[in-house]
């Protein structure tokens, strides 16, 4: 089937599902919302086999040293630190010491790097079985733009500080929430419970903050039918 036709079918299916919900009267819509499946954030991650720890047999001091060396090399490759600086020089001296002690640190570092790549790939994977499902999901609302009446679009994230104070979580742990009418928030990271149709499709959006702007990838979006403050019991489970 041609790709354009496939996309058209998917769009029509999503619009038809949304129309069915919008066309319900108040009581029917309330019943649909109450019947929506309550998800937890791990539900957004596809099932996968646990990853082996390549350093499981390494002594604790070796694990610590390799973690330090790996971070320094990554920072140097990114231009964060200089290869002539004391931190990088110390890391290279430590690397040579372990090599001279007969430890195959290069093999261990490569294994750690391979595992990190798999972790990154898994963070981009989305759970296609949730596509089009009517669900409820608790989290913290990070507004993309604040208006006088509230927000109509925000990122739902699993923890406070995500995307601003600390790096963003993996794409499959971010949901773009879109509302028909504005919702009043008290500030950043209001705890909320949203209900609506989930779309499992990777996209990205610009997030503006004090230090500038950043492109944030996300694995899901939701047309929100209902939003409410998150009660303390659910909030404590995040």
User: What is the number of domains present in the chain?
Assistant: 2
Task: Give the containing element (helix H, strand E) for 150.
Answer: none
- Whole domain around residue 120: which residue ranges? 60-124
Question: Do residues 126 and 220 lie in contact, with contact meaning Cβ atoms separated by under 8 Å?
Answer: yes
131/178 same-domain check: yes
Query: Which of 124, 143, 174 represents a domain boundary (last residue)?
Result: 124
SS3 of residue 188 by DSSP: coil
86/138 same-domain check: no
Token pair of 172 as six digits: 């499959």
| 192 within a domain of the structure (yes/no) | yes
Angle subtended by helix axes 60-77 and 86-100, to nearest 10? 140
Question: What is the C-alpha to C-alpha distance for residues 168 and 175, in angstroms, rounded to an integer?
Answer: 12
CATH number at residue 166: 2.40.50.870
pTM of the model: 0.71
| 25 within a domain of the structure (yes/no) | yes
27 has pLDDT over 90: no
92/162 same-domain check: no
Q: pLDDT tens across 97-106, in order?
A: 999 999 999 9
CB atoms within 10 A of CB 197: 19
119/152 same-domain check: no
Query: Which of 102, 124, 146 represents a domain boundary (last residue)?
Result: 124
Q: pLDDT tens across 143-157, in order?
A: 988 778 899 999 999
133/207 same-domain check: yes
DSSP-assigned letter for residue 78: T
| 53 within a domain of the structure (yes/no) | no
174/211 same-domain check: yes
């Amino acid at each position: 089937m041609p790709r354009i036709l496939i996309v058209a079918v998917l769009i029509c299916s999503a619009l038809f599902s949304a129309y069915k919900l919008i066309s319900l009267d108040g009581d029917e819509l309330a019943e649909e919302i109450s019947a929506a499946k309550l998800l937890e954030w791990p539900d957004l991650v596809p099932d996968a086999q646990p990853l082996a720890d390549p350093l499981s047999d390494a002594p604790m001091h070796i694990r610590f040293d390799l973690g330090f060396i790996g971070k320094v090399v990554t920072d140097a490759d990114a231009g964060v630190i200089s290869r002539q600086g004391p931190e990088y020089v110390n890391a290279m001296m430590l690397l040579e010491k372990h090599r001279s002690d007969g430890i195959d640190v290069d093999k261990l570092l490569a294994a750690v790097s391979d595992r990190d790549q798999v972790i990154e790939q898994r963070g981009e994977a989305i759970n296609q079985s949730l596509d089009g499902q009517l669900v409820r999901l608790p989290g913290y609302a990070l507004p993309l733009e604040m208006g006088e009446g509230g927000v109509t679009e925000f990122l739902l994230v699993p923890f406070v500080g995500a995307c601003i104070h600390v790096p963003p979580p993996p794409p499959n742990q971010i949901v773009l929430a879109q509302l028909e009418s504005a919702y009043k928030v008290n500030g950043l990271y209001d705890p909320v419970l949203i209900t609506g149709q989930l779309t499992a499709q990777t996209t990205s959006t610009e997030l503006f903050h004090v230090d500038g702007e950043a492109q944030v990838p996300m694995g899901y979006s939701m047309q929100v039918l209902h939003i409410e403050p998150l009660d303390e019991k659910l909030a404590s489970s995040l």
